[in-house]
Amino acid sequence: MEALAGLPVVGRAVLALQAAGVDRIAVVCPEERVDVREWLGADRRVRCELSFHATEPEAEAALAGRRVLRTRHDRVGPPAAYRRLLSVAPGGTADDGLTDVRTESGRRRAVAALFDACRKPEDGLVSRWLNRRVSIAISKRLVGTPARPNHITLVTFLLGAAAAAAVSVGTYGAMLAGAVAMQLNSILDGVDGELARVRFQQSASGAWLDTLSDDFSNILFFTGMALAAATAVPDAPLWAVAGWIGVGGTVVTVLSYYVELARVGSGDFYALDWSGFEGGGPGLRQRVFSILYLLVRKDFFILLLLAAAIVGVLPYMTVVVMVFAVVTALGGVIRFVRGSSHGRARSGEAARAARPGLPGALPEER
């Protein structure tokens, strides 16, 4: 079967429609295309009601009584493109946002669009302008390989652990190498999610593994900084003490968030309600929260620590780590006590459960 970004093209169409909320799909597929039928029938990601038909009238009859969306398998787009089409009233029109992949140039545009859809509104400034650009470039080269998202998560964690070990040595060269490795960890942190979304390999366990990897990488790195401060600034032990307070504050923060994540049934950090921090509201408190939210984002903070390592002051950044760790720990405890998080359901399953019944679809395999 013809493949695009790690998936057969017709399989991509079915999975994208399913992710958009379609619960019944009729595939126009000649009987001799046994490969298509077997792949769709065997892939456990396909959970919607699926039927195969030799002609389009047969497929329409199978969807009788439902509003039907007709789409070709060789016009590719992310689930959001199909959601826009599904939201159009009967007789209305909309730019379908799909790309014809029957030409090489079309395939390149389609792959670019699929990965562009991986960018998140929540991405910080460093992620948006640096990390995400590099991670998408890496993901494009990995998407057609056997590498799975969880493999990348494991590599990312090991890189973070190596970064922490290097920083703990306390010499300029070791700390710089560790800070560079941690910046690479921050970049690779986006690759597993990009592969999962483009190849429809999202899972609850994968979300938890990614969150745990991210948090433990941070805790280990801050531990390495505390050890480095004790080595590099032996006459001023308060720098090391600040580092250990920062580690403790970070642990308190992540534990409080894990309780919230368990409450909302998700391992995705962004499933929590951050509406009080992300936007720039009219009040002074809101603006302060927005600035703090930007500063404590991993993408910005890790780049800041890399800059500190370059100029040779990384051990002294334990005070900065301590301040922000204490602030975020207090915020996490307050959120926990108030029980104010009502997770915004962003997963495909939760989003489908929240929407009314959606029409069937006719992805054509020709």
Query: What whole-number percentage of the chain has pLDDT above 90?
Result: 60
Cβ–Cβ < 8 Å for 218, 248: no
The pLDDT score that the predictor gives to residue 290 is: 60
Predicted confidence at residue 78, as pLDDT, reads 93
**Higher pLDDT residue, 57 or 139?**
139
Band of pLDDT at residue 362, cut at 50, 70 and 90: low
Which one is predicted more confidently, 72 or 183? 183
Gap between the Cα atoms of 160 and 330, Å rounded: 26
Residue that the structure tokens 């405890």 belong to: 333
Structure tokens at 147: 């590498």
Q: What is the pTM of this model?
A: 0.85
